[in-house]
Structure formats: C-alpha cells, structure tokens
C-alpha cells in the first residue's frame, strides 16, 4: 500500500469514528439539547419530542461511554439525575456549526428549489 492509499484509509477510519458519535436519529438532538446547559433526564425527555422511553436511556448511555456527556446522580428526594456536556462534548461546537451551516446551504439548493 502506498502513502496516498494509507492516508485515505486513515481518513476513512476517522470519519467512521465521528459518524459513530453523531449517527442515528437521536444523538445530535440530545447533544443540541445539552448545548444550552445541563439538564435533568425528565427535561431532556420533554425537550426532545417523540423520543421513546427506550431510546433516551440507551443513547444517553452511548454518549456517556464515548465521553461526550456526563451523568451526575443527586440523591435528593426523589432522586434526580443531571446530564451535561464534557469538554469533549463541547469541542463538537465547530463540527455541529458546520453541519448546520452546510445543511442550510443544502436545503436552499435542494429542498428549496
């Protein structure tokens, strides 16, 4: 394998990494919801309309495993749980801005016409 090919293989690996974090129906919505600050489980559930009671815990867990968000348990009565973006999660801002930026352009070109 020459240098150019192995360079491309590396790029493909990196895009797979990024996609694994943002892919699916609910991960970006959850991340977006938390960009405005920490939120409790119930708040996220209310914010993200239509998310099912199965998907929310599952996707929160996945994001936590990828160190994008943190889960903090408060043993108040009743127990409350807060989720917030980690520094790694906050570092997605430029990426998300670019997703929004290009998506806006795309919509103007395709859906708009």
Cα Rg of the chain (Å, integer): 17
**What residues from 38 to 97 belong to the interface with its own copies (CB under 8 A)?**
47, 66-67, 88, 91-92, 94-96
- Do β-strands 39-40 and 80-85 pair in parallel, antiparallel, or remain unpaired? antiparallel
* 30, 44 contact by CB (below 8 A): yes
Identify which of 91, 72, 90, 70 has the alpha carbon closest to the alpha carbon of residue 81: 72
Write out the H or E segment, with its range, that includes residue 91.
none
Choose from its own copies, DNA, none: what does 61 bind? Cβ within 5-8 Å by kind. Answer: DNA
On the question of a cis peptide bond just before residue 71, with omega within 30 degrees of 0, the verdict is no
Minimum distance between the CB of residue 102 and DNA, rounded to whole angstroms?
20
Choose from its own copies, DNA, none: what does 91 bind? Cβ within 5-8 Å by kind. Answer: its own copies
Minimum distance between the CB of residue 77 and its own copies, rounded to whole angstroms?
30
Closer residue to DNA (CB): 17 or 108? 17
Number of CB atoms found within 10 A of residue 20's CB = 12
Report the interface residues with its own copies, using CB under 8 A.
Answer: 8, 11-12, 14-15, 17-19, 21-23, 28-29, 32-33, 47, 66-67, 88, 91-92, 94-96, 98-107, 109-111
């Amino acid at each position: 394998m020459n240098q150019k090919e192995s360079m491309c293989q590396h790029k493909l690996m990196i895009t797979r990494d990024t996609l694994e974090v943002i892919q699916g129906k609910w991960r970006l919505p959850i991340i977006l919801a938390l960009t405005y600050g920490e939120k409790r489980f119930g708040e996220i559930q209310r914010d993200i309309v239509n998310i099912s009671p199965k998907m929310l815990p599952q996707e929160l867990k996945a994001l936590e495993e990828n160190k994008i968000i943190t889960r903090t348990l408060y043993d108040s009565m009743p127990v409350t749980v807060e989720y917030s973006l980690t520094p790694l999660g906050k570092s997605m801002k430029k990426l998300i801005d670019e997703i929004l930026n290009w998506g806006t352009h795309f919509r103007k070109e395709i859906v708009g016409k």
